[in-house]
Amino acid sequence: MIGPTGFIEVRDITKEYDGIIALKDVSLTLKEGKITGVIGPDGAGKTTLLEIITGLRLPDSGEVLIAGKKWTEDSGSLKRNLGFVPQDFSLYSDLTVEENLFFFGQIYGQKDGTLREKIEKLLDIANLKKARKRQAGKLSGGMKQKLMVLSCLIHEPSVLVLDEPTRGVDPISRTELWELIRFIKEQGTTVILSTSNMEEVSRMDEVVFLAEGRVLVQIEVQNLSELFPFKIAEIKTDRVEDLIEKVEKLKNIKATHVVGRRVRAYFPREYEKKVVEELSQIVKGWYPVSPTAEDVFVYLTGGFIGE
């Protein structure tokens, strides 16, 4: 194990590529035993941040400490206690599922008997037993992702880092991957992953919103809605355009957003009583909803309508 805390501290990290800022003064403290998501659009700096945390890339300035240890001081110990799953498939396509796992187990010095028992357990956990003799290159996208995760679990790391693990996989595979990630977390492993999919935020314990190489906020998911200064009223309708026209004419409505056959109306918290009165005059019913992670992110980046 890395240590009793497993905390990862990122201190004032800056990284540039040919004069283009990838990360700027990034500082974070990532908690042990949690699932932390690094959230942001493509080009936000997510991959660079994860590569620096895992020692695959050096920052131009700043440092990373894992349970008080620096990569420059104890890289061997840190590598043995971290697992990193990159975006692209990086295993041996011509080897079977089982052979890939056995190969990586041997690299980490696992004894043959113990390794075989561990592989059986991992295949069972990831529901890959039936695919054990299939060549890795012939697996579906979701199976490939699960296999890469398993290859990083062979040496039982204290910290598992995944770069966009659900990108490009189908909904069923995405659910299975998240079940695997949740299981890993329940075993006490600290999980850090990146994604641009805001819908996945609810599956995490805390999030780091990243945009243009800068941290917008680091916060527990359960407290995310506190960052959003507006209330939201959701109204079901079969005549979306007509309803939007009516709602947008109301004095205290800040913005509207269409979700299927529903219209969401955003308004400042302090005007809730007035908006309730106004809405009651044009619709028969509506109900309050919580802001989504996307609502919060767009607001924090200054892209919220009316801001």
Q: Which domains does the chain have, with CATH numbers?
A: 8-224 (3.40.50.300), 229-290 (3.30.70.980)
Q: What is the pLDDT of residues 144-180, one digit of tens each?
A: 999 999 999 999 999 999 999 999 899 999 999 999 9
Q: What is the pLDDT of residues 60-116, one digit of tens each?
A: 999 999 988 888 787 888 888 899 999 999 999 999 999 999 999 999 888 888 899
Q: What is the pLDDT of residues 133-144, one digit of tens each?
A: 999 999 999 999
**Three-state secondary structure along the chain?**
CCCCCCCEEEEEEEEEECCEEEEEEEEEEECCCCEEEEECCCCCCHHHHHHHHCCCCCCCEEEEEECCEEHHHHHHHHHHCEEEECCCCCCCCCCEHHHHHHHHHHHCCCCHHHHHHHHHHHHHHCCCHHHCCCEHHHCCHHHHHHHHHHHHHCCCCCEEEEECCCCCCCHHHHHHHHHHHHHHHHCCCEEEEEECCHHHHHHCCEEEEEECCEEEEEEEHHHHHHHCCEEEEEEECCCHHHHHHHHHCCCCCCEEEEECCEEEEEEEHHHHHHHHHHHHCCCCCCEEECCCHHHHHHHHCCCCCCC
Asked if pLDDT for residue 4 goes beyond 70, the answer is no
Q: Can you tell me the mean pLDDT for 256-281?
A: 86
Confidence of residue 230 (pLDDT cuts 50, 70, 90): very high
